[in-house]
Amino acid sequence: MKKILLFLFLGTYALAELSYEGYLGADMQAYNKTSAKHSSNFTLEQKLKLTHESNDFVSVLELYAQEDSSDYNNKENNKRSYLRINELYTSYEFEDSKILLGKSILFWGALEVKNIVDGFNIQDTRSDPSKTDKVGAYNIQYSHYFEESELSFIVKLYEQKSKMANSSYTYSILGKNESFKNKLESEKSLGRPSVYFTYTGSLSDDIALDYAFILQNGYDSQRYLRKSGKEYVQHAYLVNKFSTFNTLVHGSSLIKLEFLYTDVLDDKNVSDYYHSAFGIEYTLDQFEEGSELAILGEYYYYKSKDEKISSDLSLGEIFQNDLFLGLRYSLNDYGDSTAVGGVIIDTDYKEENYYVEFETRVYDAFKVKLDISYTEPSKTHNTIYAKQGRSKKIGLNIAYHY
């Protein structure tokens, strides 16, 4: 598959002009932890995106690489250094439709903290969980455009394996001397396609409403870990799933809703479940010299149909009964500076996660991001945060964009 896609990409080079964009950055984080994990990490990051356009053909190649200093300087490395093809696809635009073939990334969802319906691509768990780090999926897409809506048919060609950082990395759920096997188990072949129908659109006459509906038959985005001795193996299972995400503008308020229901088909270790999330964002117009202050609130609820079979704890679900309260301040200055902060409260397991992020642009090409967070894990349940331990973090990311 990769050789075919590279051939298609390079084949357009002689017919079109090459454009490129990307960044080169350094990510520095320091932690104050009670556990025996690394107290800091320094990671070099680079992303390069190449695009060819020739009439109605578009070909894209996006590469991402990162190098963690611990993989070279410590005996217990983090295993966070790699080179990855994020996207590698070609597409053709018709008058009112489009077809795409290759490895691509899709974004679904509307909420600030967590997009529960965003399950097309797997997440790379070797990254800081506060970052959205998706792995491209090999697929075929056909989309048809209507006046104010779009209907798409998508076939994901196979289910990909996931990798995990070593136990020495501060956000790894692995304990000391535990390991993660680079294998994905399933009841059926991993080459069994996952099929999606999506319908998205907007209403703008009387109300400003954006909506999206997704029907899926195939492998679920949620997986579970099976432990054999001191080694973990990830397991995927087949489902029928319905998802939706919507936004409604009402005056100075933006109302958000995400919901999914999952019917598990072939795995007796997982029960059917639903996940819902509701959010509201209220903006105070021109708070000061054109800047804006937005008040944010979101609530997440996860429910398994039969918790004797599986629960949020056994599946590692964090947002199962959580409330988020926060603020976002946009300065509307030369650097498009934005500050976001808030607290996520787990009302079941008494966990709290506080964070503040500030991002700005310097001299056009440089982006600087500073973030500070504090996590207080559960003292009564074996949650993901409890496995990682209490932590205080300060992070700085500086990236040159070209």
Residue 388 main-chain phi, psi, to 5 deg: -80, -30
Q: In what order do the strands lie in the sheet with 231-236?
A: 179-186, 231-236, 224-228
User: What is the residue whose two structure tokens read 């529960």?
Assistant: 116
Please determine, for residue 81, whether its predicted confidence score (pLDDT) is greater than 80: yes
Domain that holds residue 92: 2-401
**Cβ-count burial 334-366 (b if 16+ within 10 Å, e if not):** eeebbbbbbebbbeebebebbbebbbbeeeeee
Model confidence over 97-148: pLDDT tens digits? Answer: 999 999 999 999 999 999 999 999 999 888 877 788 899 999 999 999 999 9
Using DSSP's 3-state secondary structure scheme, residue 313 falls into helix
Check which CATH number belongs to the domain holding 74 and give it.
2.40.160.100
Greatest Cα pair distance in the chain: 63
Domain count, the chain: 1
Question: Token pair 């998508």 is at which residue?
Answer: 154
Give the mean pLDDT of the chain.
90
**Residue 209 amino acid letter:** L
Residue 7 reports pLDDT greater than 50:
no
pLDDT at 172: 83
